[in-house]
Amino acid sequence: MNQTRFDALIVGSGAAGLYTALRLTDLAPNWRIGLVTKDNLSTSASDWAQGGIAAVIDKDDAPRFHGKDTLVAGVGLCEAEAVDVLVNAAPRQIQQLIALGVDFDRTEDGSLALTLEAAHSRRRVLHSADTTGRALVSKLAAAVLQNPSIQVLSTTLILDLYMEKGRCGGVFYLEPNQEIGCLISPVVVLATGGGAQVFAQNTNPPSSTGDGVAIAWRAGAVIRDMEFVQFHPTALALPNAPRFLISEAVRGEGAHLIDHQGDRFLFNYHPKGELAPRDVVSRAIFAHLQKTQEPTVFLDLKPISKATIAHRFPNIIKICQQWQIDIFSTPIPVTPAAHYCMGGIVVDSYGATSIEGLYAVGETASTGVHGANRLASNSLLECFVFGERLAEQVSSQQTQIFDVSIAIAPNLEERGNSATIQNIKSAIQNLSWQAAGICRVQSELEIALTQICIWQAELTNLAEPSRLWIETRNLTDYAYLLMRSALFRTESRGAHYRSDFPDTDPKWQLHTMIEGEEIRRSHSLLNDDIRTT
């Protein structure tokens, strides 16, 4: 098979992958870096991010306040060391991004503009109108394309890791001619984003199919906290319209959530109303819709000045206008949708997984900073802080040479199964939304898990060299890990809500860990002595 060698290989082209690649070229200028993307450099969930990036900038703020807010949101499952790393490194990362040319919004006196988002105790969210992710990713992508040390492999689909004696030495990939190739590298970084496409209702791009988590799990990596999926409270809800995310920053600027009667119903569920944590707001909307039997609630922007709306939310204005909604005068119909996955591949504070030679960064990694519920605007920050630490760690290590002349590639043949595979993919998304969505219960999770296992076996027999099969296979494995974890955790905590176990149980202040077919509980990476099979 075709083999190409790199000193480091990064899979994924969102903020985490792009930034890690750039920092590696700074720290190891003689290295040859491969950056794999199954689409192009602008197709990622990072590019879709609206709200902003959190960092302590204001003189009345401090990292300890940012850290406390993060820990509170995480409901006892954040790793304190990782949170400390995140909040203390944040101001420096902002300065590096500014030096890279990222144009954050500023006030009239030229200082960085800061907004407030739910569960933050201070205004500390930097933004670039309502397209912060795009502002960041566009600058990073341009820098990557201009860097001679980075080779971008576009429209390249990763199948599985190449493993040699328990160590990761590269990846198998599908070439455009449907042949299997192997990319060889002593350093493989998975930066593939999340897996919210496992749900029928989600705010992610179509490429967010849980690839990194599924690939790593199949190779034997430890996976953590997959039950914790953040459902964004306010996604555009119109027939035939995509579930476009209406940024949390809209509520931070003063928008009200109202029902069909015009009532600000959220205060019946939480004293902070619109500024309650995301999981609280999502469940409150879900419960209110069940109570009222209405299809949506509404986000009313009239409390915000028209000048502020025009300045802060031009993209939301544009998208809503496409669906004949004038947000200056008409409330936006919204419902919750899957948005961000807190769980992922377990990594240490430098991005190393449980498999030697394999690293992960961004949403596909479980660093421990998000716990059971991510604090708003910490996700982009995590990409940069831990991307830099990963680059610092691996650039200081001595690389190894691998010989894969005897490697056995997966056997894929064109069988014309696309219609069957598409039906399975759609069924997985609908089943996951029904059984493992905002509210979960044992009976539905058990039925769903049994069906997922059937589809896993069926997809093995349907294997073919297509993007549809590769992504559906990954989604099915992702759904399996999600269902097992959600069924295993018999309590409600953060973004995980079990209607049959509605209370938070102190005995469950533990991580859910999956390695192969074993599932267990663990205090942390450093204290893994509590096991239940």
Active site residues: 278
Burial (CB < 10 A; 0-12, 13-18, 19+), residue 139, is: middle
What is the C-alpha to C-alpha distance for residues 226 and 273, in angstroms, rounded to an integer? 28
- Residue 31 · residue 149 · CB < 8 Å: yes
Nearest to 154 by CA among 163, 162, 145, 146: 145
| DSSP conformation letters of 232-301 | EEEEE--TT----B--HHHHHTT-EEE-TT---GGGGT-TTGGGS-HHHHHHHHHHHHHHHT-S-EEEE-
- Residue 261 · residue 276 · CB < 8 Å: no
User: Which amino acid does the sequence have at 309?
Assistant: I
Q: Which residues, 6+ apart, have CB-to-CB distance to 506 below 8 Å?
A: none
What is the C-alpha to C-alpha distance for residues 214 and 530, in angstroms, rounded to an integer? 25
What is the C-alpha to C-alpha distance for residues 2 and 5, in angstroms, rounded to an integer? 10
Give 196's DSSP letter: G
What is the C-alpha to C-alpha distance for residues 493 and 503, in angstroms, rounded to an integer? 8
- Residue 366 · residue 82 · CB < 8 Å: no
Map residue 5 onto helix, strand or coil: strand
For the chain, the straight-line distance linking the first and the last C-alpha, in angstroms and rounded, comes to 40
Q: Which residues, 6+ apart, have CB-to-CB distance to 238 below 8 Å?
A: 323, 333
Largest CA-CA distance found in the chain, in angstroms, rounded: 69
